[in-house]
Amino acid sequence: MDEKVLNRVKQWLEGPYDEETKATIKKWQADQPDLLEDAFYKNLEFGTGGLRGLMGVGTNRMNRYTVGMATQGYANYLIQCFGESASVAIAHDVRHNSRSFAEITAHVFAANGIKVYLFESKRPTPELSFAIRSLGCKGGVVCTASHNPKEYNGYKAYWDDGAQLVPPHDANVIAEVEKIKSIDEVKWEGNDELITLIGKEMDDAYLNMVKGLSVYPEVCKRQHDLKIVYTPIHGTGIMLVPEALARFGFTNVHVVKEQSTPDGNFPTVIYPNPEERETMSICLETARKLDADICLGTDPDADRVGIGIKNRKGEWILMNGNQTALLAFNYLIEARKTKGIAMPNDMVIKTIVTTDMIDVIAKRNGVACYNVLTGFKWISSLIKAKEAKENYIIGGEESFGLMIGDKIRDKDGVSAVALICEMVAYEKDKGRSLMDKLIDLYVEYGFYKEDLLSITKKGINGAKEIAAMMETFRKQPPKSIAGNKVVQLLDYQLQEGCDLINGTKWKIDIPKSNVLQFILDDGTKISARPSGTEPKIKFYFSVNTSLSSADNFEKVEMELDKKIANIISEMKLAD
């Protein structure tokens, strides 16, 4: 076993760690050395988004010690920046140990003299962002692993604007966290009088904000009996989503009973992610039985939303994140214009891997559309930079995230559910379904079809395999893919674009990120991006063509699906 691993194990066995932890280490030493090595082969990395990993014993796991050390480093940086005025808000989801991790975080902050506002129980992540802004906090933490399996937990750090950390604060916090070499450096207890519990009053303020996002409350009133099926997938959405829908005026809401109780075991699903059809299957089946107008699901911390609708054959299908985003973006652009409240400086923001159909819709309607790196912190950063000049109305990304209005600075599944239901009501008021609307948009703006392939590389060698894959694509980009020339390579790590036909290069003026994009001569876009929080690399595919009429939708969709399948096959990405 590597000497560094042995030294870390020795430190834990001889240090002031609890006896249960030491007993586990000794058991692994005796009969499960592979587990021991995986738990100690590195320190759990505090990345730009914070911590995320398997829960358990070891330096490479989420536990009270890794959480405490991370909090001490973050506290040190907050004190450097704000001194005695430093304050934080803390929230957590339904996962095992989330409450414990949140309380440990609160105690460490308080022991460092930092004022703490701790939610009294589980709450959606977007409410944490809202609370930071409402209370004037300098930072915040939410203990959640979002949509990861039940064995995971995480720790997301926020700044004073309610957004996750961006430069220079992300690197500075990471540096401070890395300086904490021992749990003896952590101030674990003291000054608990600095901890204030928050709850109902913040809920009410947040829900009032969500209600204020409605563009057509009169339509919601007319369509109050819109048949809505909603599942929180055992998560925090149950705390606020039903009430948000009630405040919008909807009276015919059916919560999926089997998934309504908060439970960190997520007993009815394998992967609590509304992107997955299997996860949403009970919701979709409930909607079918009730002949609903829409079904929606949020992930455990209620920052993502998945939606199901009926296709033209009457079958219930799960929309992908790009379709949901383009419908939501279009609704706010169209409805604001129709209502007469659109402003000449309205802007929308999306990520570089989200459908370019949104850019086309925005341009056609005279609305500025900006593209940023993946992650809502980058959307929030751009909002902050343009606050006095442009009017932000919506931002989103393909991974089932939307951020509506500027009162919060992170993706928000609660407000997204409410606005999507208003959007369905808006179309139903015209005698149309959401599927009708989607196809009409394809006819008007072009049929854009996207798909995502995630490749997981677990264990010690996983990160190396992913890095090697990216390096090969970077240094030896394919000349053609599925019969079409690759005409551009966009390298966001080098911040450089290159015309592969004539060799012309240009600077990409957004922060560095390990993302590559191949642009083909027919407008196809293929993006490769290693995940920052999970051991996987993601490939995003976007193809497009014209759609002459709604009658041709199914035929053209099959052609685009086949085109994506051919690309995946030729790039040798399929299992």
What residues act catalytically?
146
Q: What whole-number distance in Å separates Cα of residue 363 and Cα of residue 365? A: 5
Q: Is 381 exposed, middle or buried (0-12, 13-18, 19+ CB in 10 A)?
A: buried
Asked if 88 and 141 count as a contact pair (C-beta separation under 8 A), the reply is: yes
Q: What is the per-residue DSSP string for 503-562? A: --EEE--S---S-EEEEETTS-EEEEEE-SSSSEEEEEEEEEE----GGGHHHHHHHHHH
Q: Considering just the CA atoms, what is the radius of gyration of the chain in Å?
A: 24
Q: What whole-number distance in Å separates Cα of residue 528 and Cα of residue 521? A: 18
Q: What is the per-residue DSSP string for 400-443? A: TEEEESSS-SS--HHHHHHHHHHHHHHHHTTT--HHHHHHHHHH
Amino acid at 477: P
Q: Is 463 exposed, middle or buried (0-12, 13-18, 19+ CB in 10 A)?
A: middle
3-class DSSP state of 571: coil
From the list 54, 57, 65, the residue with the least C-alpha distance to 36 is 57
Q: What whole-number distance in Å separates Cα of residue 383 and Cα of residue 378? A: 9
Q: What whole-number distance in Å separates Cα of residue 491 and Cα of residue 483? A: 22
Asked if 397 and 371 count as a contact pair (C-beta separation under 8 A), the reply is: no
Q: What whole-number distance in Å separates Cα of residue 93 and Cα of residue 565? A: 37
* DSSP designation for 45: P
Q: Is 436 exposed, middle or buried (0-12, 13-18, 19+ CB in 10 A)?
A: middle
Q: What whole-number distance in Å separates Cα of residue 391 and Cα of residue 395? A: 12
Cβ neighbours for 75, distance < 8 A, ≥ 6 positions apart: 86, 108, 109, 112, 114, 187
Which phi and psi (to 5°) does residue 36 adopt?
Answer: -60, -45
Q: Looking up tokens 């990304």, which residue turns up?
A: 397
